[in-house]
Amino acid sequence: MKDAEVILKAAEIIRRGGIVAFPTETVYGLGANGYDPLAVARVFEVKRRPSFDPLILHVADPSDVEKLVKEIPSDAKKLIERFWPGPLTVVLLKEENVPDIVTAGLPSIAVRMPDHPMALSLIKESRCPIAAPSANPFGYLSPTEAEHVREQLGDQVDLILDGGPCPVGVESTIVSFSEDKPRLLRPGGISLEEIETIIGKVEISPIEDRPSAPGMLSRHYAPRTPIVLDWSEKSLDSYKGRRIGLLAFREPDKSLNCNHIEILSKKGDLREAAASLFAAIRRLDALSLDLILVETVPEVGLGRAIMDRLRRASGLIF
C-alpha cells in the first residue's frame, strides 16, 4: 500500500476508536481520538501508564488549539508562531470539551503541532486532535523507529505507520502557561536558549518539584542494563572482567578497552547526538552487558534534553 492509503486506513482506525502508532519529528507516538475517553483509556492500558500521567493532544493547525483551551496568553502565541510545527508543547488551561482522562484530571492541557508529514496527514484525515504519549511501555526509552514500536507493542496496536527514523530524536520541549509565569517542564527538541530569545526568562522547575509533569519520574527513559554517567579510561579498567558498553558523545581519539562502543556523533554535534540517542541505547541494551558507561555532553542547546534523559535513564533523578 502507498503511504497515502495507509494513512487513510490509520485515520479510519482512529475515528472508530482504535489506536495507531505514528512517526513525529521527535519520537513515535501512540495515538487515539482525543475526544474519545474509551480509546484514550486503551492507550493507557497498552502502555501500562499510570492514569495520573496526562497526555499531549496533537493538532494539525495552530488554529485547532482555540477550541481546546480557555485562552492563549501572548507569550504562548509567540512561541506557537515561531516554533510550530515543531518539537514544542505548550500547556494551557483547558476547555470543558477535553475529556478528563486526557489531562489526568488536571485543569490544563498539553498541545503541540508536530513537524512530520505523516503525523499531520493522520491528524487531518482523522478530523480530531490525537492524544498520544510516546509509543513505549511506561518507563522505557521512547521509540525513534517503527521497528522499536513493533518490538515492544506490536501485537497490541491496531496499526503502526512507518515514517523511518525520527529526525530530532528527543521528545518535545514542554512549556507551561498554566500559572502566572511561563515554566519549562521538560527540556526537549527546542532549546531553552531559543525559547528565551522569543519570550525572555522562563522559570525552570527544579527536578524534584514537578508534580505537574508526572511523567518525569525516576528511572524514566530507562533501559534494562544499568547506566552510569561519566567514564574515564581508569574507570573502564576498574571494571575488568565485566561486560562494558560505552555510549560516547564523540569519536574517542584512541581505542578503548570495552566490549562495545556506540558513538552518538563522530564530530560531537548535539543535534546529531540527540537524533541517535535512544536507538544507540537500545542497541547497547540488547547486548546483555553488565553496565553501560556514558560520556556526558555539554549542557547547552539540545545537550540539556540529552542530559535530562541520560540522568533519568541512569536513575540519578528521583
Residues that bind Mg ion (CB under 5 A): 134
Helix (H) or strand (E) holding 131: strand 130-132
Q: Based on CB atoms, which residue is closest to ligand TXA, 7 or 246? A: 7
- Identified binder of ligand TXA from the candidate list 54, 85, 99, 143, rule CB under 6 A: 54
Q: Based on CB atoms, which residue is closest to ligand TXA, 13 or 59? A: 59
CB of 164 to ligand TXA, least distance (A): 15
**Cα separation, 279 vs 289, whole angstroms:** 16
Residue 214 touches ligand TXA, criterion: CB under 6 A: yes
**203-204/260-263 β-pairing:** unpaired
Residue 56 touches ligand TXA, criterion: CB under 6 A: yes
Cα 37–chain centre separation: 22
Residue 32 touches ligand TXA, criterion: CB under 6 A: no
Stretch of 132-140, 154-162, 230-238, 302-310 lying at the interface with ligand TXA (CB under 6 A):
132-140
CB of 101 to Mg ion, least distance (A): 17
Q: Is residue 158 within 8 Å of residue 13, measured between CB atoms?
A: yes
What is the full DSSP assignment across 242-282?
S-EEEEESS--SS--SSSEEEES-TT--HHHHHHHHHHHHH
CB of 11 to Mg ion, least distance (A): 23
**Cα separation, 7 vs 131, whole angstroms:** 17
The closest alpha carbon to 295, from 216, 258, 208, belongs to 258
**Site for ligand TXA, rule CB under 6 A:** 24, 26-27, 29, 53-56, 87, 89, 91, 103, 106, 108-110, 114, 132-134, 171-172, 174, 176, 185, 212-216
